Chains A and B, each alone.
Chain A
């Protein structure tokens, strides 16, 4: 019975295998980034970015029609511009990171809506741009896989300065000039992951598999390496279980995966070892020392 439910969907249907491959790549790259986003209080950046890429996609559409490659490239450029500008302003002025990003993404969205309205089409460009995990063609899978590889490599490179910058930025400034480049590299990774994620899988999955696993990990580990490990594991588990759920019921795939992740999250909030509610209510006898 287990085999029927858990393995058969993937052995019988290629689209399920491809979806699983996509979910694995997404989990490996997105979850670690999500952990850093959460720790740096940038959890809402995913939604902001989903809107910020509109002018880029619109210009891509204007130049090349409904060409996904052009629209994605445009979206990447717009995303980078917003992220880098916001990052630079936050570092060189009193403006804090979240407010800086908010201002820039709003400007970007307004520009995007204007372009779309002036051109006169009503197709929801972003609706078309945002893909579906069940429709993984070769090109898209390749992009996601490349994305995951690049992300993991760059993240390994900037891991130390990123950690130090997150916990004690002033200290990093006094011992290294790597703080700003590391930060900008991180922002670039965020944009790439989000835009590629949107294009391949839609906003819900791309952002959801970044942020929810990070939230889950918060309740099980006190150490950043441990958190990243748990985040990746929960993302993989949610992806797999969500696909199975969508196969057995009529729940659409994206929401199914996120619902599984949400279930894990609620479980963590209640029963997590680090700060879970049940632990707080029933701490047990205190220790000797």
Chain B
């Protein structure tokens, strides 16, 4: 299968401290990949690098010709201004940005798609509500609806089921499976190991660097998880420059 993403010796971090250190690997098109690891493992940082928000300190990320702007990204904590006067309908509608741009008419077909997206996440009837009146779970559904509308080939979800109830998680998981069935590539950072074992065929166990990457059953072993725990340390302010680092960084 062709690779949707190719990571070549990627190091990502902040202020020169690596949060992801020398990661290499391939993600096939249409894969459903879970990324797990302890806190501080670098999962969010890896995602920011993949969607183009963070430039690698070293190494390259290739996306098989896919424009970063065409990747759907659901961040861990959305910095959304809940007090802004915008309705659920208009907010979700922004998911169509790549198609409509500055002025594109949001005509009948677009309107129908928006309503369908809201229905798919169980928010039908909420169209005119201001986003500030939604609960946490409802907001998460809203963000999923927006991802739906984005119709992206590559979908990146950072801890999408944090702090929401079981029913919502279950419903949204169905959506993830639908995307997988539509042969989109889906990456999800998760904490719930049971959920990963039950629904995700492939897993990358990350602890700054790769601990294990492959079929979920083989990756999520007790010894791997222990190894991952040990590898996650805090930034070391007295660390010297990394000697393996000989390739100059290239734009993400």
* A residues whose Cβ falls under 8 Å from a Cβ of B: 39, 157-158, 160-161, 163-164, 166-178, 221-224, 226-227
Q: Is the CB of A167 within 8 A of B81?
A: yes
Could you show 8 A-B contacts with beta carbons less than 8 Å apart?
A39-B84, A158-B102, A164-B94, A167-B86, A169-B79, A174-B51, A175-B98, A224-B84
Q: Is the CB of B84 within 8 A of A173?
A: no
Which interface residue of A158, A175, A176, A226 has the most chain B CB atoms within 10 A?
Answer: A175
Which interface residue of A170, A172, A177 has the most chain B CB atoms within 10 A?
Answer: A170
Task: Given A174-B69, A174-B71, A175-B150, decide whether A167 and B51 contact each other with a Cβ distance below 8 A.
Answer: no
B235 within 8 A of A: no
Q: Is the CB of B102 within 8 A of A168?
A: no
List chain B residues, Cβ under 8 A from A226.
85
| B96 vs chain A, min Cβ distance (A) | 10
Q: Is the CB of A160 within 8 A of B102?
A: yes
Task: Given A176-B69, A177-B69, decide whether A163 and B86 contact each other with a Cβ distance below 8 A.
Answer: yes
Once bound together, how far apart are the Cα atoms of A177 and B94, in whole Å? Answer: 15
List chain B residues, Cβ under 8 A from A178.
102
**B80-118 vs A: 1/0 string, CB under 8 Å?**
110011110011001001100011000000000000000
Task: Given A157-B102, A164-B97, decide whether A224 and B85 contact each other with a Cβ distance below 8 A.
Answer: yes
| B246 vs chain A, min Cβ distance (A) | 28
Once bound together, how far apart are the Cα atoms of A149 and B179, in whole Å? Answer: 46
Q: Is the CB of A223 within 8 A of B85?
A: yes
**B161-179 vs A: 1/0 string, CB under 8 Å?**
0000000000000000000
Main SS of the interface on chain A? helix
List chain A residues, Cβ under 8 A from B137.
none
Given A160-B94, A222-B130, A223-B130, 10 more A-B residue pairs with CB atoms under 8 Å apart are A39-B85, A160-B103, A167-B81, A168-B78, A168-B91, A171-B78, A173-B53, A174-B51, A175-B69, A223-B90
Q: Is the CB of B91 within 8 A of A167?
A: yes
Q: Is the CB of A161 within 8 A of B79?
A: no
List chain A residues, Cβ under 8 A from B200.
none
* B residues whose Cβ falls under 8 Å from a Cβ of A: 51-53, 68-69, 71, 73, 75, 78-81, 84-87, 90-91, 94, 97-98, 102-103, 130-131, 146, 150
Q: Is the CB of B85 within 8 A of A227?
A: yes
List chain B residues, Cβ under 8 A from A173.
53
Task: Given A39-B84, A175-B97, A223-B85, decide whether A168 and B69 contact each other with a Cβ distance below 8 A.
Answer: no
Q: Is the CB of A223 within 8 A of B80?
A: no
Once bound together, how far apart are the Cα atoms of A158 and B146, in whole Å? Answer: 21
Residue of A nearest to B150 (CB): A175
User: Considering the complex of A and B, which 7 residue pairs feature the smallest CB-CB distances, nearest first?
Assistant: A167-B84, A222-B130, A174-B73, A224-B85, A168-B80, A175-B97, A167-B81
Residue of A nearest to B104 (CB): A160
Q: Is the CB of B80 within 8 A of A221?
A: no
List chain B residues, Cβ under 8 A from A170.
53, 75, 78-79
Residue of B nearest to A217 (CB): B85
Once bound together, how far apart are the Cα atoms of A177 and B97, in whole Å? Answer: 12
Q: Is the CB of B85 within 8 A of A168?
A: no
Within 8 Å by CB of A161, from B78, B81, B102, B150, lies B102
Task: Given A160-B102, A168-B81, A175-B97, decide whether A223 and B73 contact each other with a Cβ distance below 8 A.
Answer: no
Once bound together, how far apart are the Cα atoms of A177 and B81, in whole Å? Answer: 20
Once bound together, how far apart are the Cα atoms of A174 and B54, in whole Å? Answer: 11
List chain A residues, Cβ under 8 A from B75.
170
Task: Given A166-B81, A227-B85, decide whether A174 and B53 contact each other with a Cβ distance below 8 A.
Answer: yes
